[in-house]
Chain A
Amino acid sequence: MDDVKKAGMIALEKAVSAGASYADFRYTYTESESLSYNNGAPESVDESLDKGFGVRVIADGAWGFCSSADVTENEIIRVAEKAVEIAKASAILQTKPVELAPIEIYTDSYISSFNVDPFKISTAEKLQYLAYLDELMSQNEGIKYRNSFLDFRKINKNLLSTEGLDIHQLIVQSGAGVSVTAMRSHRERARRSYPANEGIFECKGYELLDEVDFENNIPIICQQAVALLEAEPCPSKTCDIVLDGSHVSLVIHESIGHALELDRVFGGERNFSGTSFATPEKLDNFKYASDIVSVVADATSPHGLGSFGYDDDGVKAHESDLIREGILVGYLSSRETAKRIGKLSSGAMRADGWGNVPIVRMTNTNLKPGNLTLDELISGVDDGLYMQTTSSWSIDDTRENFQFGCQIAWEIKGGKLGKMIKNPTYGGNTVSFWNSCDGIGNRSLWRVWGTPNCGKGQPGQNGRVGQGAAPVRIRNVKVGF
């Protein structure tokens, strides 16, 4: 038995002897490295090690959780007992005992797919790569600010439970991106980034860098940033819009992913992240979107940033339907929340590191691809805008009313792209927006975009999630706020 498993067994035994009817022990050891380059010089090179464990229990029918960075026997015993003390305190307000949906019990080891361990590549080589990206950006004299970054994470995670779970996972994630800013005056600027607003993040190794075409795209975004200084502002009107895939990823994230987190639906985030309009009585009968829109939660998407082997309830990763041909048919759920609607968990219970309690999070929220090319999407618009790359976002606390902005747009007239537009924004209502979707890009335009910094919960937890997206066409949208 290895040291982590021994530690887990001590924690579980102590929790049970202190009065827990259920307990799990989660240990994580995470290596991180982030590097950034700013206008020809390294801005930061940070390496980080983080380890610790958390003990989650049910005692007297209520939840308790305690965690520590100090993985020693005495501390494990203290933490397990404290978790039970906390649960018993929670119980004074518990009107009905916590119930969990059943799961299959696994003993397993999962390793995410990667070719080159980024932690075996030297810092010097990574800095050379950033210097190369910086050099590409510096070729355009109109660019005032150049930023680039690399980000790597290797997570070792063990989960043991009183139900017999014994799962180890090794997950490697990589990220990279660039952004450029052109400037006419201090208050007149234009920013472009690539491949998306926050770069690209996937469950991959260092090979990710070979798969991103910085060389051909950096000159394009530099030219666009400079041209945006002369572009016309976004008109205020109602028109059709076509959105690029990286931005559709954000729209899915905000208006579908978050809206379908079942803990939120039940009010668990009422005081902070808010609730959701997509309440349980709407399940299987609510027209969330047009018939061509189908969305799944899929923690098995190859290389998706939200992919894993098992969630932190121990549920094996799988695909589950959220919206099928426009109808709401499922939620992102945990064992506890799924039980409340008489379902099995969708396997979306995830914690940010060892020190946080698992909460319902997105995995990869994937809009299924359609059958149109980008030209076909655009050619179907008589008067509208084609928008690219997220720049701003805001959505209300029930996930209905939103306002999003992009870095760049082009006018569409008679099915053809026209002049460039700066600071394009649009707004609307989630349900009417998705019901106005009449075109989705095909498989060749589709990919899973990683979101490395999804915030939820108190204390704030950072989630790493993905959204499968292709460009979409939406009719009659209010633009130019």
Chain B
Amino acid sequence: MSAPDLHQMGVAELAQAIADKKTSSTEATRHLLARAKQHEALGAYLAVNEEVSLAQARAADARIAAGERTPLLGVPIAHKDIFVTRDFPTTAGSKMLAGYRSPFDATVVARLGQQGAVTLGKLNCDEFAMGSGNDNSAFGPARNPWDPARVPGGSSGGSAAVVAARLAPAVTGTDTGGSIRQPAGFCGVTGIKPTYGRCSRYGMVAFASSLDQAGPMARSAADCATLLTAMAGPDIDRDSTSLDHPAEDYGRLLGTAWGEGRDGASAAQPLKGLRIGIPEEWMNWADDAPTTDQRVSGDVTLQVSGALKQLEALGASLRRIRLPRTEMSIPAYYIIAPAEASSNLSRYDGVKFGHRAAKYDDLLDMYKKSRSEAFGAEVQRRIMIGTYVLSHGYYDAYYLKAQQIRRLIAQDFRAAFAECDLIAGPVAPTVAWKIGELADDPVAAYLADIYTLPASLAGLPCMSVPAGLGATSGLPVGLQLVGDYLKEAELLQVAHALQQATDWHTHAPAGY
């Protein structure tokens, strides 16, 4: 098998080729590491270690030689640098943790490793996952393979870039307010954030504990299902917020008819009976002329509408629903997430690990200097916001109110799922912006999170599926799908049906 084909393969294909001994894990790993080096300018990787990766690959090859088979055996993947790893440094994109080495692997990393996946390295991200452009990384920006002058999205920007640029068939990401879905949308790849609690947070550098959730990103829904099946599952001895639900095969509904065919779904119309709700607060859905808010770009409106029509053609019925507190999700999120972050990041004090200022006068000065030197501007901004909203006298007005709104948003979804099986709309109002474009306007970046925040606040499973390239920009647009709690398999089933009928997810940026 010739090397160039290896990086074009998805997870399933590559696993099959390795299992069939048409190639080896070692060969695939070597090839993808070389490719990562070749595309260093993307800024996607923060750490690689050829020796470690090749040792893992040889171990996988040995397992294959011994007759073992798993859907991920020998498949090289890479991890967002938010997951702690024993064999690679973990920085969370922050100077604070430069050179930090964890004595243990994150549960998600360990589970993928047990399934035989090989780790290629650690991926760039916004500092402590705070950002939507991957331009808040202390180690420089990751770039969008579709246009290196543009952001790949964030915070899992390096993850999305690597998948789009064919540097790895699949990666891990984390999503707090859209950090898997938005970069997946900006880079034209598929990503899923499962129900809060599906994936263990043990070993994920915490940003906002009540929102953080891990998920896979890949080039197809089917490959995402394979990774999610390996990553998810209860971990109640290490993460108290881990859901105590038995492990699931998230790919079990792929290629099957919706509702097991009860509503007349067939091979031609596999989604017959599926009711898709379009929130009017996200996009105004009228039969012929779908419109969106003026803030939403024409490219996004057109591509998302096209994808919805495609789902309709597959048998789904589209209906208007309401999510009336959509706009309130922005202030609610930007109170709750910074509040939790301000507390979660208190451990970085220069005492035990992480950056400590070289010179200081006393203890307080050591705290101030260490933290001021090592935290970037966006992290400092959120720590300050979070500290403020939790302060005595402000708690009720901000944090408590935001929690109340959060509950109302979850109620809105509950009401909506009484009328539909799945919710669809845009991932983001625009395509990827230029690096630096929003650097001086953090609020504009916050506002752009409007479509991803509601599902995060409600803890619902949601994903981003490629919806083709914008006619004007030539850049990828993502379709967002949101399911009810624990409906990951249904989400993946619908995304897979769409990908069976279209080729949007197969588009590669020029030169990759």
Query: Do A and B make up one complex?
Result: no
Contacts from B to A (Cβ < 8 Å) = none
Contacts from A to B (Cβ < 8 Å) = none
